[in-house]
Structure 1
Amino acid sequence: MRGIWFFDDWMLERRDCLERVWGKPTFVKEIFKEFYPAGWDGYGGYPTAFYDERLGKYALYLIAFPGRESRDRTPGISAGEFQFRLLSDDPCNWPNPVYNPTSGPAWRSFDDVVVDQDGAPIWAHAVHSLAGTPLAERGYASAVLDVPRHLTWGGFSDDGVRFTVDRSGPWLDPGSDIAGDILWNREAELYQLFVRPVYGDRRIAMSTTADFTQFTRPVTIMQPDALDRVGTELYDMPPRPYEDFYIGLLNIMTSDRFEEVSLSSDWPQIKYFGRMDTQLAYSYNGLYWYRTKREPFIGVRDYGQVGGGSAYGKEMLRTQDDRLLFFVIGDYGGHAARVDKETEWPYGSGYRSPMLYEMRLDGFCSLKTWGREGVLRTKVIIPRDGEMRLNVRTMAHTG
């Protein structure tokens, strides 16, 4: 343990005249103003962003979503999406994807589309670099979603774009309708795959593996509880390392209480409509997770703006110069609103779009006095190197 971050009081013996203040990222900008091809909904999905040491650039992976009437869909992938990669020297500024219109499926008009060993597009749910882990020589890893067969395959890549997908043995069977975010747990020396327990079960589950060959059965680690309003669903949770513990961007769906679920549908237990925002979760060891204050860490914006109906916090990126950036997928409407949006929003206008947020590196949580002074006493702490650093800010600070 290298620090006390005040997400809870378990290391404290006394806290008087000090209140816990939760920080939030601030909106920076919508990353894109142009969207290709015409008639498609925009870019989103389950993005990942990281500094790629092999390339010496930042990488951002996004999914292009077709509109309802799009004819140039990707065959064989869910609703016809495809995934592509962008590269940039500046994680705050990203180029538009290279788009050269051709006939046939839209994905053929893009550069750096994520494909399998046969050159066919795949939904590589969340691409991660394996740099700094025991399997770094395998390059990049991703779970690959097989929607029709309810399976989660695994794929590895030398270049981050062309993946070798082993379809002889799935990572998870049955899989989930989110293929899973990968986290390397340095303390447990395990790779963790964050998924749902089964298709349509909107809770957070976790499977572990040491070698991407043998996986444990997914175990539910987080579900709505008595502090949540009725109809709350835990949609997804990308986990990321932060200092000496872990942060989870918990996507919360507040479902429409008046929506009637059809028993004749493929997934009769699922509600499609509702607001999407992001709360904060944390873990000291990556295995056991806790939730913070039940309010949005990244909330929806005003109606009529990108993110006015949904704000999916999907990536936390600590840059090479120690800035803390968040990549958030925003929709103009709530979850599944695009299903019937032809009467409310024109196609091809960025209905779904990534947004950039930023927060100071230590901005998650702090203790603040409401009086002249506060009293804080910790449990016994024995510094390993004989030194201790305090992070303190006063009214006189201007920085």
Structure 2
Amino acid sequence: MLICPRRVRPVLPLYSHLTQRHSTNSYLSTMTTSDFKGHCPIGDFDINKAHAVISNDPEKIYNEYQYLRQECPLIYTSQYGGYWIMSRYEDVKRAALDSETYISSVKAVVPSDPRGIRRPPLNFDAPAHTPFRTALERTLKPSRIRRLAEPLQRHAETELAPLLATGRGDISAQFGANYVARVETEWLNLDPDVAPKLATTAAAWLNAWRMQDGETVTANSMKMYQIARDLLADRRANPRDAEEDPASSLLLETDPEGNPLSEEHLVGCLRQSLVVGVVAPPILIGSICKHLAEDKNLQKRLREDESLIPAALEEFLRLYSPYRGFARTVSKEVHLHGQTIRPREPITLNYTSANRDPEIFESPEEFILHRENIAMHLGFGRGRHRCVGMPLARLAVETVIKVLLRSTRDFEVEGPLQYSRMPELGIISCPMRFS
């Protein structure tokens, strides 16, 4: 039942040996119904043992995504409790835009929080999620983003200084983790002393979540919940301009029936806000810095002409999208590519794979500055659950690129890289040498 239908496309060289050993028909004829789950009809490829679901190595995963897009654009794996992988651009975009069919309130990430806790707006559907998004978006208007530019540059310079002083350091786990915590404190108007605590707590929480260590997740999550509770209590007593302060903005909103938002959900939204901004940016920063360390010509061009950096950032967002496990379930049966997805069965909208789909992006594995259709990338998702912090994330990472290039003559990767587990994809530790 869960076999992918064979499509009339060439098999990639990576898996060409499978068709030499088995013809599709003869292979299928030897399989029983119980064999179907987790297999494609090309030789002995087994999605449950594939790099796409068990590996952390981006190059191996990207390579396998090519195969899945061509031969198995929708496939089920029993890993992480079982979920569908949707890998083609058009399918992913269509699902992201159809929030009535593809819902977020059952499961929004694979793997999920091991404790099953659900927080707005990520785990809510419209209309319940709308007041939370409205409140957060109110604080991310262009005028606020412009005012954040100077403090973010200052934080980037401050956090980069220790690495430059010694000539080396980890641009992801050291600089990136500390810098994004500073970004969060600026956006949320937290006491500056909170930033170091947030950086260490969020890192410990994230590593435990990736390992599905529920006890450690809970211990560090409670610390972040306390930060959120303290913040909300202060804003109740000392409200600020709603366009400048997320907690104050949330306190103005009501639910679809006109009632004040519950304390639990307000705290949950602030707790969610603390986390989302510290997960993806260090991964993206590491991937960008590795790319620039290897592409000296591009590094030189961006250093000499900063006006090229925004365009370069968009291509980096396409090429190194840091999520592979954002998920939905369906509100009704969905029939796609000969398969049937049933309600409560998780589907990952694989933005990483979609952004390398050759049907949309020419030479998708290459970095192409000023790519004509770069605005089509799904680095921030699409639809009602598109990343609410998108303007801040762009500013934060663009600032890093500028400060790094201004502060150095060159830089190299120095030492082994470490890569993220599901649901992210990319570099979480990138030791570098600076000159």
Q: TM-score, normalised by structure 1?
A: 0.27
Structure that is richer in helix per residue: 2
Q: Which has the higher contact order (CA 8 A, sep 6+)?
A: 2
Quick check: which one's strand share is greater? 1
Q: TM-score, normalised to structure 2's length?
A: 0.26
